[in-house]
Amino acid sequence: MEYKDYYKILGVSRDASADDIKQAYRKLARKYHPDVSKEKDAEQHFKEVGEAYEVLKDHKKRAAYDQLGHHWRAGDNFQPPTGWNFGFDFGSGGFTGGGQPFDFSDFFETLFGRGQGPGMPPGYTHQTPFRTPGEDHHAKVVISLEEAYHGANRVLQLRLSERDSMGQKIPRIRTLNVKIPAGVTEGQKIRLAGQGEPGQGGESNGDLYLEIEFQPHRFYRAEGKDVFLNLPIAPWEAALGASVAVPTLGGKVELKIPAGSTAGQKLRLKGRGLPGNPSGDQYVTLQLVTPPATTVAASDFYRKMAQEFPFDPRAVLADSG
């Protein structure tokens, strides 16, 4: 009798989580389902995948299977000790595929007893629905930085599927009330369990994943939980230093500008970015704004500055050739 490596059949490691096993089964069940697959030996692969999932999805069956140890390889000649049976009672019968009997493998029945076909109702044919979990659905939700900072409630209308009384998928416009938690970041996904595509044959629905996208902001930009702001300052504030009010997503705060500051210099407001554990910071980039000489007095003042300050802003370029 041939040993069945259920982990290898599903393409997962022996320490795979229940979610990893479920995702692997979903993918392979869709790939090999005999009604739609054009793969060679699709029906046989489909049976093996269903049998592997039947064992590994249940922690008791999986634990019993793992008692066999890790030294067996797929295809090895397996001879269990006399009387070896884990004692799971599945009842009798099998399932049919295309009118032909389609039971569990001898390996499965030796370990667990004779059972119903993996994931299939009695009398299964290629014309009746099969059991498979619903697919996950992905969508984007665009929010403002203020909503990311404070949190928000959104009413979304999404085109999602439901199943009618015959089990067929019908597209519907579904209205969802979604809570956006404070401190979300761009690209973060919010999972709504069971709100994805419907499962079939009693299997669970998929999940809905909402990916956060930020609207462009007039003043701010965000990178992760950090927020960035360009702050205009006057030349005398940069030269002499000053304390100025700076806007943040949580309200205005006082920022001390050191004397001798320069254009492009960055100052940090710790913890003033998006909230979290820890919260992000706000980085302020100084931008010098020169007052226009729109009056005679202003023009005279600039001429006096030129005389008072022996300053050449292009001195660094003197040796450039």
List, for residues 148-207, the tens digit of each pLDDT value: 999 999 999 998 888 776 667 788 898 999 999 999 999 999 999 999 888 877 788 889
What is the distance between the alpha carbons of residues 167 and 128, in angstroms, rounded to a whole number?
A: 10
- The CATH number assigned to the domain holding 146 equals 2.60.260.20
1 token code pair: 């009798």
CB of 127 closer than 8 Å to CB of 117: no
Q: Is residue 320 part of a domain?
A: no
Residues 207 and 262 occupy one common structural domain? no
Q: What is the pLDDT of residue 39?
A: 81
Measured at the CA of 197, the angle between CA 194 and CA 200, to 5 degrees, comes to 95
Q: How many domains does the chain have?
A: 3
Residue 45 placed within a domain: yes
Residue 316 falls inside a structural domain: no
> Cis peptide before 235, with omega less than 30 degrees from 0?
no
The answer on 210 and 193 residing in a single domain is yes
Is residue 56 in some structural domain?
Answer: yes
Q: What is the band of 215 on the pLDDT scale with cuts at 50, 70, 90?
A: very high
Within a domain: 107: yes
- Indicate whether 123 belongs to any domain: no
Task: Check if the beta carbon of residue 223 is closer than 8 Å to that of residue 280.
Answer: no
Q: Are residues 22 and 102 in the same domain?
A: yes
Query: In the prediction, which pLDDT does 84 show?
Result: 55
CATH number for 47: 1.10.287.110
Instruction: Specify the pLDDT at position 318.
Output: 78
pLDDT band at 91 (very low <50, low <70, confident <90, very high): very low
Query: How many Cβ atoms sit within 10 Å of the Cβ of residue 28?
Result: 20
Please tell me whether residues 106 and 11 are part of one structural domain. Answer: yes
| Six-digit token string for 138 | 């992905």
pLDDT at 300: 95
Question: Which of 217, 143, 226 is CA-nearest to residue 178?
Answer: 143
How many CA atoms lie less than 13 Å away from 19 in the CB half-sphere?
A: 4
Residue type, position 107, single letter: F
Task: Examine the domain organization and report whether 20 and 82 are in the same domain.
Answer: yes
**Co-location of 179 and 227 in the same domain:** no
Q: What is the pLDDT of residue 256?
A: 97
* Same domain for 99 and 161: no
Q: pLDDT: is 64 or 276 the higher one?
A: 276
Whether 49 and 144 map to the same domain: the answer is no
Could you tell me if residue 163 is inside a domain? yes
Is residue 119 a contact partner of residue 130, using CB atoms and an 8 Å limit?
Answer: yes
Instruction: Tell me which of 214, 243, 276 is where a domain ends.
Output: 214
Specify whether 11 is located in the same domain as 104.
Answer: yes
In a domain, 121, yes or no: no
Do 61 and 20 lie in one domain? The reply is yes
How would you classify the pairing of strands 208-214 and 137-143? parallel
The last residue of one of the domains, among 214, 231, 262, is 214
Q: What is the pLDDT of residues 116-134, one digit of tens each?
A: 444 443 333 333 345 678 8
Q: Which pLDDT band, with edges at 50, 70 and 90, does 320 fall under? A: low
**Contact assessment for residue 108 and residue 4, using Cβ atoms and an 8 Å cutoff:** yes
Domain of 142 in residue numbering reads as 137-214
Instruction: Check whether residue 95 and residue 17 sit in a common domain.
Output: yes
Cα within 13 Å of Cα(217), Cβ side = 19
Of 18-22, 186-190, 197-201, 266-270, where does mean pLDDT reach its minimum? 197-201
Q: Where are the alpha helices (DSSP H) in the chain?
A: 6-10, 18-32, 42-56, 59-66, 106-112, 145-150, 235-240, 296-308
Please tell me the distance from the alpha carbon of residue 108 to that of residue 114, in angstroms, as a whole number.
8
